[in-house]
Amino acid sequence: MKITNGQQHYLNAIRQNKKTTIEMTNKAAEVKKQSEQTSVEISDEAKKLAQANLAAAPSEKAKAIKQAIQNGTYQVSTEKIAQSIVNHITEQKKAAE
């Protein structure tokens, strides 16, 4: 007859925890190894598109608006904003019909 006080269950839990930790460590190392081998190449078309976007970046109008905001002289037209909201709602209603 073997008498135990629950230590075997405790020891099994510790063994399982160690096993899980080792497995997770191995998986993490494998993922890291795979990510180190990943490479990305940018096509010529993508490079040209990026250059075009940089060239067309902030227009003169955008620069002027930014400067006015920084100076505190930018005037917001509440009428234009309200009209745009009304136009947008009208378009949504037409599209829903």
Q: What is the pTM of this model?
A: 0.33
44 within some domain? no
- 33-84 pLDDT, tens digit per residue, is 776 666 778 899 988 888 887 766 677 888 888 899 999 999 989 999 999 9
- What pLDDT band is residue 91 in, cutting at 50, 70 and 90? very high
50 within some domain? no
Containing structural domain, residue 29: 7-34
Question: Of how many residues is the chain composed?
Answer: 97
12 within some domain? yes
Residue 58 makes CB contacts below 8 A (sequence gap 6+) with 66
Percent composition of the chain: helix, strand, coil (DSSP 3-state, to 5): 75, 0, 25
45 within some domain? no
More confident residue, 21 or 1: 21
23 within some domain? yes
40 within some domain? no
- Split into its structural domains, the chain has a count of 2
The reported pLDDT for the residue numbered 90 is 94
Q: Is the pLDDT of residue 1 over 60?
A: no
